[in-house]
Structure 1
Amino acid sequence: MIEIKIHTKPALRSPKLVGGLPGSGYVGKLAADHLIKELGAHLAAEIYSYSFPPQVILKEDGTIELMKNELHFWENPGEGPDLLIMTGNAQAVNPEGQYELAEKILELSKEFGADCVYMMAAYITGRYVDHPKVFGAATTTEGVAELEENNVTIMREGSVVGMNGLLFALAKLRGIKGYCLLGETSGYIVDAKAAQAVLEVLAKRLNIKVNMTDLENRAKETEKTIRRLEELERKAVEQAAKRGVTRERELPYIS
């Protein structure tokens, strides 16, 4: 079962649906949350589902809330497109729930007038990089060419799993143009740097300005932590090697 709570239904100008949900590196989720915060987007709807994990979120004031997805809207003061920004604190835990949610979100977005979908997610490489690439795919060959013009590395094999992939793929069945932007990440950390890389491409595509300072600061803190861990690992290896040499010297000689 899915329950949708509508807060407001603004009249938007051909809005683009931009989405990011929790996943590897939290790339899509970080990017969507940052966009909502920096643009000052407003809550339009909350989406609840029995397919979300059976748990509640504890808030700072001691109250609780159910797992949910949210749809926020931003009215562009300039000439560019308005935005619908979709995020949440969970994805559905089963395939049926993911398909059902994706259909409902697309249906609701179309009611708001959305004519294009951008999903943000992670491209997992298993290693940390200083300058993450952005990989991508689109629902049309024209869309692929557009991404290439923005220096996006096109994915020509593999798959995009979960809602982050389903939403832009199901958009194609509804005649809605779709793109998926994936930030290169190790998959082991909450990767603000990968989220920033994705947002920079998105902002260029949509011709909007987004302040990246918070993501940059978060990425710097993550990088410091990684460097400290690397140093600890290096020292541990050195100490283990020394112990190995010591033990070897202490072994009795047997002929």
Structure 2
Amino acid sequence: MNMIDGVQELKSPWMIAVWPGMGNVGLTAGYYLMAKLGMELLSEYSPPELFDIDYVEVEQGVIHTGMRPRSRFFLWKDPEEQHDLVILIGEAQPQFGKYTYCQKMVTYARDLGIERIFTFAAMATAMHPEHESRVFAAVTDPENLKEMRVNNLEILQEGNISGLNGILLGAAADKGMDGTCLLGEMPHIFSQLPFPKASLAVLQAFRLISGIEIDTSELVEQSKAMEQKLGELLSQVEKSMGEKKEMPEQQESFEESLQPEVPEEPTLTPEEAQRIEELFAQAKQDRSKAYILKQELDRLDLFAEYEDRFLDLFKNHG
């Protein structure tokens, strides 16, 4: 791994790991936490033997070199000296060698003195988008179940946690490390759409467990806006289904309506381009404003294009 020199001994550190998944629940929570706490880039681990190249970019007829997904660690030093935090943000999960990858993550965590590993994920249920998202928890040590119940979290009684959200904690358990998975509830019917309410619920649960203050006001507003949109869409569908029996072509139309619209070639107006540059400048001065920038890039469907520049905001330039 490419470590940044001069990392001081961490104070009772915890690690959080997030990857893309249903509703982008974990990834949204991770990015929000990283931005609001003003974290700094710590290291990167993107082994080419585990990550393949799935596509190459074409711009004005010219093919660019393919890029492998990256996995980057960010650090926050707790001013209260309770728990320093390290966040692993992965752009993708490896297609193969998942357990080997996780073992290396756990070894790295132990080298940093990490005492506990968290993963943030989604739990798809039949919930209505206007209902509150519950948080389900699973832990590597039965003793930690008491802590989950004290914080009024649902216990995941049985089932499985797919992908690295579960495998990483299994690898941690093998090494005797404490691990906790927090799964935010979201409607299964909208599993392909962002659902920030579940990310908010996960962060609120983590705040209770860690005692770390996190300003979630922006995520609250984002959750309300998405709740309204999905509620209106669901009401329209239920009304249509109640009026007459749904035909196959109507079902296909409904499923298509759930997919996020992706423009073929996103273009920026001069005003939008100026707005992005202003937000980058603000975030460079105050990292806690970075999530506003991310929201704007997501709205314009341009985050992938600006992702490296966005994450550069969190490099230690001191």
8 Å CA contact 1:56–1:64 kept in 2: the answer is: yes
Q: Distance in 1 between matches of 2:174 and 2:30?
A: 24
1:236, distance to aligned residue in structure 2 (A): 4.0
Tell me the alpha carbon deviations over residues 112-143 of structure 1, each in whole angstroms, 9 at most, x when there is no partner. Answer: 11011111111111443420111111111211
Q: Which moved more, 1:192-201 or 1:7-16?
A: 7-16
RMSD: 2.3
Q: Which residue of 2 aligns with 1:92?
A: 94
1:8, distance to aligned residue in structure 2 (A): 4.2
Q: Distance in 2 between matches of 1:33 and 1:53?
A: 24
Change (3 A) 1:66 1:126: farther
Tell me the alpha carbon deviations over residues 61-91 of structure 1, each in whole angstroms, 9 at most, x when there is no partner. Answer: x998531111111000013210111112111
Q: Which residue of 2 aligns with 1:244?
A: none
**Structure 2 counterpart SS, 1:13:** coil
**2:207 matched to 1:216?**
no
Q: Distance in 1 between matches of 2:128 and 2:91?
A: 25
Q: Distance in 2 between matches of 1:6 and 1:122?
A: 30
Q: Distance in 2 between matches of 1:140 and 1:150?
A: 16
Q: Which residue of 2 aligns with 1:54?
A: 53
Change (3 A) 1:9 1:111: farther
**2:194 matched to 1:190?**
yes
Tell me the alpha carbon deviations over residues 222-249 of structure 1, each in whole angstroms, 9 at most, x when there is no partner. Answer: 11221332244256447757xxxxxxxx
Between the aligned residues of both structures, percent identity stands at 28
8 Å CA contact 2:12–2:82 kept in 1: the answer is: no
**2:229 matched to 1:225?**
yes
Q: Distance in 1 between matches of 2:6 and 2:181?
A: 26
Match of 1:15 among 13, 21, 28: 13
1:109, distance to aligned residue in structure 2 (A): 1.5
8 Å CA contact 1:8–1:45 kept in 2: the answer is: no
Q: Distance in 2 between matches of 1:216 and 1:107?
A: 36
Q: Distance in 2 between matches of 1:24 and 1:68?
A: 19
Q: Distance in 2 between matches of 1:43 and 1:147?
A: 30
More helix by share: 2
8 Å CA contact 1:102–1:170 kept in 2: the answer is: yes
Total equivalences in the alignment: 233
Q: Distance in 1 between matches of 2:176 and 2:75?
A: 22
**2:146 matched to 1:145?**
yes
Return the letter of the residue paired with 1:221.
A
Q: Which residue of 1 aligns with 2:78?
A: 76
In structure 2, runs of 5+ residues without a counterpart are 58-63, 246-318
8 Å CA contact 1:74–1:82 kept in 2: the answer is: yes
Task: Name which one, 1 or 2, has greater alpha-carbon Rg.
Answer: 1
**Structure 2 counterpart SS, 1:157:** coil
Q: Which moved more, 1:8-17 or 1:105-114?
A: 8-17
1:16, distance to aligned residue in structure 2 (A): 0.4
Q: Which residue of 1 aligns with 2:288?
A: none
Following superposition of structure 1 onto structure 2, how do residues 110-189 of structure 1 map, counting pairs within 5 Å?
A: 110-129=110-129, 130-187=131-188, 188=191, 189=193
Q: Which residue of 1 aligns with 2:43?
A: 45
Q: TM-score, normalised by structure 2?
A: 0.67
Change (3 A) 1:158 1:235: closer
**Structure 2 counterpart SS, 1:48:** coil
Return the letter of the residue paired with 2:178.
K
Following superposition of structure 1 onto structure 2, how do residues 239-254 of structure 1 map, counting pairs within 5 Å?
A: none
